[in-house]
Amino acid sequence: MSDLTKSASLEQPWYRGITRYEWLVLIIASAGWVFDVYEGQIFNLTRNQLLQDILGVEPGHPDIKKYGDRLLGIFLLGGMFGGLLFGSLADKYGRRPMMIWTILMYSIFSGLTYFATSLEQVMVLRFLVAMGIGGEWAVAAALVSEVFPTRARAQASGIFHATSVIGTWLATLAAMWVESDWRYAYLIGVLPALLILWVRATVKEPEKWEQARQAGTQKNRGSLKELLTKPLWAKHALLAMCLAAVGLGTFWALVVAGQDLAYHRMLQDGVEEKVAVEKAKFAYGIVQTLGGGIGLVLFGPIAARIGRKRAFILYHVGAAIIVPVTCFVPQSYGMLLAFLPVFGFFTLGMHAGYAVYFPELFPSHLRATGTSFGFNGGRMLAFSVLWYVAPWLKGQMALPLALTWLGGLFLVGVLLMAVLPETKGKDLPE
């Protein structure tokens, strides 16, 4: 391809020339991720009723919070374990079979939660659901990056991850619909298993992966040992894990606290507690999440224009600035609603970058393994922020100040990008 032809190709709209099959892969991968997020968020939205029934305690009992936090820890552990396992298997045996198994896994074990009668059963089921969720994201992210051409890869991967907002909204609607009958919300979680029929009928292995399989090359496909012993891949994997930990740790400790900011703001304004609770849900679940969704969708186009490194730096610096502004500037609920979409844009929007960037850091035979190691390994580092750092800060100082200190973690993301490579416009490594 001549330089003039290549330049014209890069200047045309990214979606021009995308094939029907490439769109189908994006839709299928996104559908799997939507239900991934549904299965994860439905517990957050129903855990009070679930644990109240399972433990046989009254509303507000301290055991509900205690075991809720432990179940979240188990969920993060399951996601890490499943992500590493299925990411490695996807590099060994193919993207399609592992996508089928992971979707089947999180669907079936979510549905079985309907029949749970003890805390131990819920713990085992949440661990198994998380294994499927962690594995499916890694496989789908690798597949999208491999199927789409270089010029459209960032936009497609950004759209893929941005569909997580739909999963959150579906889980919210389901939780509101079932009200206290939490079991039905998990039974609904069986429906994604129908995606398997579509995956089997439509998805093919990426061409380069198939060529390597037929040639019998790359015997170390999916090897964690190679990932962590080859200096370049080990560097990328460990730095990706730290980068994901910044986003995931701040998500659970800070981003979801947008609801708490709204709640406390209204109490200070003299609003009744019951009204404050409902308006806080709206502020976080609709207003802030909408801004976050826009940030997710736009990460891809921004990264395609200015580069992956600059896009990450822009989002991390923007997040570090908007957190204290949102915490201290608004003097009314209405003012806070004006800031929350921007708060969501930067603090949540960066998450699309993991789907855009991580697959570009690893060769074909380690792509799903490395992508999964970065994202799901980040879950465990994030757990330490959630379990130790955030509770200590929030116990020592007022919520706005605690969130401001937590927002300092975004500056760690800026430092990490200083030592990670730029992948804009480059073919995937082989």
**pLDDT over 60 at 5, yes or no:** no
C-alpha distances in Å from residue 252, one per residue of 142, 165, 248: 25, 15, 6
Residue where the block lists tokens 């395609």: 304
Per-residue confidence (pLDDT) for residue 129, from 0 to 100: 94
Per-residue confidence (pLDDT) for residue 13, from 0 to 100: 87
- DSSP letter at 385 equals I
In order, the DSSP letters of 238-274 are: HHHHHHHHHHHHHHHHTGGGHHHHHHHHHHHTT--HH
Tell me what the pLDDT averaged over the chain comes to: 88
Q: Please write down the HEC assignment for all residues of 71-118.
A: HHHHHHHHHHHHHHHHHHHHHHHCHHHHHHHHHHHHHHHHHHHHHCCC
User: What token pair was written down for 273?
Assistant: 């507690």
Give the CATH number of domain 222-421. Answer: 1.20.1250.20
**CA distance linking residue 199 with residue 25, whole number of Å:** 9
**pLDDT over 60 at 2, yes or no:** no
**CA distance linking residue 427 with residue 51, whole number of Å:** 49
**CA distance linking residue 357 with residue 413, whole number of Å:** 14
Higher pLDDT, 120 or 11: 120
**CA distance linking residue 137 with residue 346, whole number of Å:** 22
Provide the whole-model pTM. 0.85
Domain with CATH 1.20.1250.20 in the chain: 18-200, 222-421
Query: In this predicted model, what pLDDT tens digit does every residue of 43-90 receive, in sequence order?
Result: 877 888 899 899 998 877 888 877 887 787 788 888 889 988 999 999
- Tell me the average pLDDT across 396-422: 95
> Do 31 and 202 touch, CB atoms closer than 8 A?
no
**CA distance linking residue 388 with residue 381, whole number of Å:** 11
- Tell me the average pLDDT across 171-197: 87
Question: Under CATH, what is the fold of the domain 18-200?
Answer: Growth Hormone; Chain: A; (1.20.1250)
Select from 39, 324, 319 the least CA-distant residue to 186: 39
**CA distance linking residue 254 with residue 242, whole number of Å:** 17
**CA distance linking residue 106 with residue 119, whole number of Å:** 19
3-state helix, strand, coil in the chain (%, to 5): 85, 0, 15
Per-residue confidence (pLDDT) for residue 42, from 0 to 100: 86
**CA distance linking residue 10 with residue 15, whole number of Å:** 11
Per-residue confidence (pLDDT) for residue 275, from 0 to 100: 82
> Do 170 and 97 touch, CB atoms closer than 8 A?
no
**CA distance linking residue 145 with residue 312, whole number of Å:** 18
> Do 195 and 32 touch, CB atoms closer than 8 A?
yes
- DSSP letter at 221 equals T
> Do 134 and 78 touch, CB atoms closer than 8 A?
yes
> Do 389 and 253 touch, CB atoms closer than 8 A?
yes
| N-terminal to C-terminal alpha carbon distance within the chain | 20
Query: Which distant-in-sequence residues (6+ apart) come within 8 Å of 313 by Cβ?
Result: 414, 417
Higher pLDDT, 268 or 59: 268
- Tell me the average pLDDT across 102-128: 94
> Do 50 and 339 touch, CB atoms closer than 8 A?
no
> Do 323 and 347 touch, CB atoms closer than 8 A?
yes
Query: In this predicted model, what pLDDT tens digit does every residue of 274-306 receive, in sequence order?
Result: 788 778 878 887 889 899 999 999 999 999 999
Counting residues of the chain whose pLDDT is more than 90, the rounded percentage is: 54
- Residue 325's H or E segment, with its range, is helix 308-328
Tell me which of 55-69, 109-123, 303-317, 409-423 is least confident. Answer: 55-69
Select from 148, 169, 151, 150 the least CA-distant residue to 160: 148
